[in-house]
Amino acid sequence: MKSRRVFVDTNVLYPASLADLTLSAAEYGLFELVYSDHLLQEVERVLVNHKGLAPGNAQRFIDEICQTFPTGRIKATTYEGTVGSWTGPDDADLLHLAAAACSGAAVLVTNNTKDFERATPPVGVTKPTVMTADDFFCSLLDEGFEEDLVNVIVSMTSANRRPPKTWDEMMQRLATVGLPEFVDRLTEAAPLDTSRPGE
């Protein structure tokens, strides 16, 4: 059921609820997640230095991504040599774009679209479509994954999560972390009256 290869920026892998939705949707098969060595290093650094996560917990998160999506990893040797052919305002963004392009990703999801959109690929290289997380998840609704996304979010409210959340609490949280249009559309299309965590 995988529809396309998708590279996600560091800012899509936190806060936790946005990361949970992204990784759960990929694990469910709604898209094929691809990621690079530099991305994982940046995620770990941001979680520890800027988000206050303990180094061991950050490493476990990185290990979980690698274990869950082993075929999605793009080794640095695959894309490092192409970075210098890209132009743009942020060298870190160019690393991600080069990795995404070398992986064949159709989409790069980031909540910092401005710098990515200003970047220019080398001649003959197709630049991935740059989308915000909100636009990306709305695009999955457009592709007909509404029921699948409901199932993904219900799984995120499971009673075995700590702390468990109701459907409404999870939807409110997702709207708060940058998915307001997606939440509005999914709520209108598939309203649920869930007063307790999913089973």
Ranges of each domain in the chain: 7-131, 138-189
Written as one letter, the residue type at 93 is D
Residue with tokens 């082993």: 70
Report the b/e string of 125-152 with b at 16+ CB within 10 A.
eebbbbbbbbbbbbbbbeeebeebbeeb
d(CA 98, CA 139): 23
Work out the pLDDT band at 26, boundaries 50, 70, 90: very high
* CATH top class, domain 7-131: alpha beta
3-state secondary structure of 131: strand
pLDDT in tens, 86-99: 999 999 999 999 99
Written as one letter, the residue type at 150 is V
The answer on pLDDT for 167 being more than 60 is yes
Is the four-CA dihedral 184, 188, 192, 193 of positive or negative sign? positive
Mean of all residue pLDDT scores within the chain: 92
3-state secondary structure of 88: coil
Closest CA to 128 of 96, 90, 163: 96
Residue 33 contacts residue 69 (beta carbons within 8 Å): yes
d(CA 54, CA 165): 24
Q: What is the pLDDT of residue 192?
A: 66
Of 57-71, 120-134, 144-158, 184-198, the poorest mean pLDDT is in: 184-198
